[in-house]
Amino acid sequence: MEKNRKLMTAKKLVYVPILLMIGLSGCGENDNSPRALNPEVDTCAVCHMSIVDEEYAAQTVFANGDYEVFDDLGCMVQYAVQQQTANVGANYVKDAETDEWLDANNATYVYHPDFWTPMSYGVLAFTTSQQAEAYIESKGKGTIMKQEDLQQHKWGVHTDE
């Protein structure tokens, strides 16, 4: 019986480090994926409006796992400029056609002052440039923009006129 007890204790000592390694393997790594929005409690970090039109939403996920949500991708850009945000893990925008989250760095944007967005910035995001071009063609107006163009864009309501 004593021999069995020692054998069981030895087996436990082998499993404990393995279980600790499995349990701790996720520690220190933050999840930079986009968070699901809750329109009942989520408000834009810039204009403090409720996120009721989720298909226009954007969000910044920080390297430490914190995040900010925005009702319009223009608010996200304004926040980045005002806050001089550092330690950003990822930025996400909603695809104008599919309502899916896109990595903001890889999206193609379309701008026109007549395009409706919650804060009237008039900038929409698309997964591909082909989708963006098709949207422009279907509307008969709009300008293609890439991520780097967003920094040079004159943000505000109808500022290109």
pLDDT digits (tens, 9 = 90+) for 36-93: 999 889 999 999 999 989 999 999 999 888 999 999 999 998 888 887 767 889 999 9
List, in sequence order, the alpha helices (H) in the chain. 2-24, 73-83, 129-139, 147-152
Structural domain includes residue 64: yes
* Cα gap 34→25, rounded to integer Å: 21
Say how far residue 31 (Cα) sits from the centre of its chain.
Answer: 12
Given pLDDT bands bounded at 50, 70 and 90, which one contains residue 1? low
Which of 46-55, 136-145, 152-161 is predicted with the least confidence, judged by mean pLDDT?
152-161
- CA contacts within 13 A on the Cβ side of 69: 24
Which pTM does this prediction carry? Answer: 0.76
Contact 49, 25 (CB under 8 A): no
What mean pLDDT is predicted for residues 114-121?
94
Tell me, yes or no, whether 41 lies in a domain: no
Q: Is 40 inside a domain boundary?
A: no
Count structural domains, the chain. Answer: 1
60 part of a folded domain: yes
Percentage of residues in the chain having pLDDT higher than 90: 59
Residue 161 lies in a domain: no
Terminal C-alpha separation, the chain: 89
Which 3 state secondary structure label does DSSP give 27?
coil
**Separation of CA 1 from chain center:** 59
